[in-house]
A and B are shown apart, each in its own frame.
Chain A
Amino acid sequence: MLKVRVIPCLDVKDGRTVKGVNFVDLRDAGDPVALARAYDAQGADELCFLDITASHEKRGAMIDVVERTADACFMPLTVGGGVRTPDDMVAMLKAGADKVAINTAAVLDPDILKACARKVGSQAVVMALDARREGDGWGVFTHGGRNSAGKDAVQFAKRAAELGAGEILITSMDRDGTRNGYDIELLRAIRNVVNVPIIASGGAGNVQHMADAVTKGGADAVLAASIFHFGEASVTDAKRALAAAGAPVRIIEPV
């Protein structure tokens, strides 16, 4: 049986981890590769690197992080942030990423998803969708959640999958950073209209939230940042909670 994936997410700026990280055993918690190794050892099912580097000129640092991580961790790696073209995707895949997330560029021009899927295969194309409640539904936001795109998030997710996105990473802008749990209704609404895997993101405050995203929201994977980085819950803790809720997981006992 296919397992629900638990995915720690690291925000990387100019090649360093941002957002406070409080890992007891790490000498350099700012080094994304050291963190990646720690999550690898915990049995994370996948890792996500989000490049929040402001300038395009400094992207080389991210390529270096991806290369060094792929040298050390033999696990799936998703990279996002600042990806605009199929060639940007190719550069990340060549560095060792398995999947590349695209956000603003695909919202502004959805056909780019088709071009990306043709170039690298839809299995490597992740639509990173930032959604916020608007009226009865949810709107799509771009530029890190700052600008409304004037599009319906559920309809956009459906269209993204049709155009070639092999997976949808759904971040609730309302919940992100609140630790009040994922937006279950948003997940469910998108789950009901797309037939590609969906990843829940934004709002995880404890491991029960992760179980809810799967059992109630229908998520295929759960992504979280601070809950893991601050050592409040390990990947194994998250998987135990998922298992207790009846979700299939791959539990790797720490050695």
Chain B
Amino acid sequence: MTRLAIIDYGSGNVRSVQRALEAAANHFEIPLTVVLTDDPDRIRQADRIVLPGVGHFADCAEGLAARQGVAEALNEAVFRSRRPFLGVCVGMQLMADVGREDIETRGLGWIPGAVERLRPTDPSLPIPHMGWNVLTDIKPHPLLDGLGPEPHVYFVHSYAMNPAHRQHVAAWCDYGGKFVAAIARDNLFGTQFHPEKSQQAGQTILANFLRWKP
């Protein structure tokens, strides 16, 4: 039985993420127990960790920092003990060194790089980038297995991660220019899109995550 912790730090759609993971586990017959938690001990005990996040980078970073011991527990379980980790949307962005949404805010520092505003080459393109878009230049990675050649996934964001090292990019997406749609480093994976809202493609990614042995 996999014990999965979803970090509940006051940011948005924790339940949606939980339900989508449970449905994926159910469909692919993966034994799973999920806890929603901001308890450092439970985070340390988890086999896998998901960090969701919706809204503003600085708000999410503050929400994480305000919970005593959570960032330390994440560093220990994820960065040092190398448990499989999935960051979603702002949860992915928080893996960067720094976020530049309105003000400069420190992230967890697991992926060198910064989170910056989308700047489409065509200035008439609406921001936020909202809706279904295609993953491109998909790197072979266990989490992106079985998606087919042109998977559509659901995005809602105005900022994207700009990693210092190209080898940390797992997939790109195009919106008036390329931006990073997924990042991967060892046991870390992050999606700028929302797998929990991406119908079949999202369910495949979540099931891949639950079976992932980095």
A residues near B (Cβ < 8 Å) are 1-5, 40, 43, 45-46, 70-71, 74-76, 93-96, 98-99, 120-124, 166-167, 194-198, 220-221, 250, 252
Q: List 16 A-B contacts (CB under 8 A).
A: A2-B133, A3-B152, A70-B15, A74-B197, A74-B202, A75-B198, A76-B194, A93-B13, A94-B15, A95-B15, A120-B55, A122-B158, A123-B54, A123-B130, A124-B55, A220-B131
Q: Judging by beta carbons under 8 Å apart, are B132 and A45 in contact?
A: yes
In angstroms, Cα B131 to Cα A99, docked, is 12
Is B162 interfacial (CB-CB < 8 Å)?
Answer: no
Please judge, given known A-B contacts A166-B128, A196-B126, whether A74 and B20 are in contact too, CB under 8 Å.
Answer: yes
Nearest-Cβ distance from residue B103 to partner chain A, whole angstroms: 14
Given the interface pairs A71-B19, A74-B199, A76-B197, the reply to whether A220 lies near B126 with Cβ below 8 Å is yes
**Which of A96, A197, A221 contacts B16, CB < 8 Å?**
A96
Determine how close the nearest CB of chain A comes to the CB of B130; give it in whole angstroms: 5
| CB nearest to B14 among chain A residues | A94
Q: Is the CB of B54 within 8 A of A124?
A: yes
Closest approach, in angstroms, between the C-beta of A2 and any C-beta of chain B? Answer: 5
Task: Say yes or no: A1-B54 contact (C-beta < 8 A), given A120-B12, A250-B152.
Answer: no
Contact in complex: B126, A98 (CB < 8 Å): no
Contacts of B174 in A (CB 8 A): 1
Which residues of chain B come closer than 8 Å to A124, judged between CB atoms? Answer: 12, 54-55
List the interface of chain B (C-beta within 8 A of A): 12-13, 15-16, 19-20, 23, 54-56, 59, 124, 126-134, 152, 154, 156-158, 174-175, 194, 196-200, 202-203
Q: Which residues of B contact A197 (CB under 8 A)?
A: 126, 128, 130-131
In the A-B complex, the 3 residue pairs with the smallest Cβ-Cβ separation, listed nearest first, are A121-B55, A3-B132, A250-B152
B133 touches A1 (CB 8 A): yes
CA distance A95 to B157 in the complex (A): 21
> What's the minimum C-beta distance from A26 to chain B, rounded to whole angstroms?
20
> With A and B bound together, what is the CA distance between A5 and B209 in angstroms?
28
Verify A2–B199 contact, CB threshold 8 A: no
Kindly provide the distance from the CB of A249 to the nearest chain B CB, expressed in whole angstroms. Answer: 9
CB B57 to nearest CB in A, in angstroms, measures: 10
Given A75-B199, A220-B126, output 15 extra A-B contacts at Cβ < 8 Å: A2-B129, A2-B132, A3-B152, A43-B199, A45-B132, A46-B131, A74-B23, A93-B13, A98-B156, A98-B197, A166-B128, A166-B156, A195-B126, A196-B128, A250-B132
Minimum CB–CB distance for A128 against chain B, Å: 16
A150 to B99, CA, bound (A): 41
Q: Which residues of A contact B196 (CB under 8 A)?
A: 74
Interface centre among A96, A99, A194 (most CB of B within 10 A): A96
Distance (whole angstroms) from the CB of A117 to the closest CB of chain B = 9
Contact A70 B154 (CB under 8 A): no
Tell whether, in the assembled complex, residue A167 and residue B133 are in contact, meaning their CB atoms are under 8 Å apart.
no
Check B132 against A195 for contact (C-beta < 8 Å).
no
Please report the C-alpha to C-alpha distance between residue A120 and residue B156 in the assembled complex, in whole angstroms.
13
Judge whether A166 and B131 touch: CB under 8 Å: no
- Interfacial chain A residues near B156, Cβ < 8 Å: 76, 98-99, 123, 166
Q: Which residue of B lies closest to A221 (CB)?
A: B131
